[in-house]
Amino acid sequence: MALGSAWRPSKAIPVMFSELSLQYPFRKYQRMILHQIDTAPGDERHHLVLPPGSGKTIVGLELVRRFGQPAVAFAPTTTIQRQWQEKVGMFTEEPDIDLSAGATFCPGCRETLDIGVEVRDAGSGLLGWTLSADGSPITSGSGPIGQTIPWDGAGFGGGSHTLGLHARDWAGNTSDTSTHANLIVPAPPPGSPPGDSSSGSTTVSSGVAQSSVLAPTATPGRVPRPTQTPLSLPLGSLPAAPQLGAG
């Protein structure tokens, strides 16, 4: 890393650099390097040679913070590029988030649940956040937010559901929090089939609400006639046949 005249330490460190602070203690040799650079009289260029895994990126980020000026890091591979980005997370805290919601709501009663969502950046740039219910996304965003989001519970059954808020910054820091809300399903109206929790449809006649569920009807067809039993009534004996005379 070469530091030219533009890298002279500045007493007025910008806010974005002043908010950076390594969340872990420096190693002994890292403290020695930083002390030597701080006390070197008139030195404007510094060349650091350290073995892999010794924390060169950490020292470089700390120098950027102390000088309080923009820096350019040249990396031979995308892996090393990502390493610089990830190590910034060691100088910042995770995003500050908060989640709140009512205890119960009844979508079938035309109620929605007001969910309070707050996501604040902690210094390394907010990458994005996601609000979910039982792991299924409700909505998301890519910047800080502080507002109330209405949720109608569409697609979810009755009972307790877990609302979750996840946030991630550009340094790789993440924050998670959750709360619970109980979705109430209204009781079915009288006359609804068993297990029917919907409001059902009704027809109104003469001001009286009647269920639209109809009783089963017989299959159209020929109606058999009842069997008729003949009755025998005694009407007397039949008259005798006339006698024919001889001749």
Model-level pTM? 0.53
CA 191 – CA 145 distance, rounded (Å):
47
User: In the prediction, which pLDDT does 114 show?
Assistant: 96
* Residue in the structure block whose two tokens are 């979705």: 183
User: In the prediction, which pLDDT does 210 show?
Assistant: 41
3-state SS record for the chain:
CCCCHHHCCCCCCCHHHHCCCCCCCCCHHHHHHHHHHHHCCCCCCCCCCCCCCCCHHHHHHHHHHHHCCCCCCCCCCHHHHHHHHHHHHHHCCCCEEEEEECCEECHHHCCCEEEEEEEECCCCCEEEEEEEECCEEEEEECCCEEEEEEECCCCCCCEEEEEEEEEEECCCCEEEEEEEEEECCCCCCCCCCCCCCCCCCEEEECCEEEECCCCCCCCCCCCCCCCCCCCCCCCCCCCCCCCCCCC
User: In the prediction, which pLDDT does 227 show?
Assistant: 57
Residues spanned by CATH 2.60.40.10 within the chain?
A: 96-183
Distance from chain centroid for Cα 7: 45
User: In the prediction, which pLDDT does 64 show?
Assistant: 84
Tell me the per-residue pLDDT of 15-74, one tens digit each, with 9 for 90 and over.
456 667 777 788 888 888 888 888 876 766 788 888 888 888 888 888 888 887 788 888
Mean pLDDT value across residues 159-188: 90
Distance between first and last Cα of the chain:
164
- Measured from the Cβ of residue 187, the count of other Cβ atoms closer than 10 Å reads 9
CA 127 – CA 137 distance, rounded (Å):
17
Structure token digits, residue 202? 């009704």
CA 67 – CA 6 distance, rounded (Å):
9
Pick the CATH number of 96-183 from 2.60.40.10, 3.30.565.10, 3.30.1960.10, 1.10.10.60: 2.60.40.10
Tell me the per-residue pLDDT of 112-122, one tens digit each, with 9 for 90 and over.
999 999 998 87
CA 21 – CA 93 distance, rounded (Å):
9
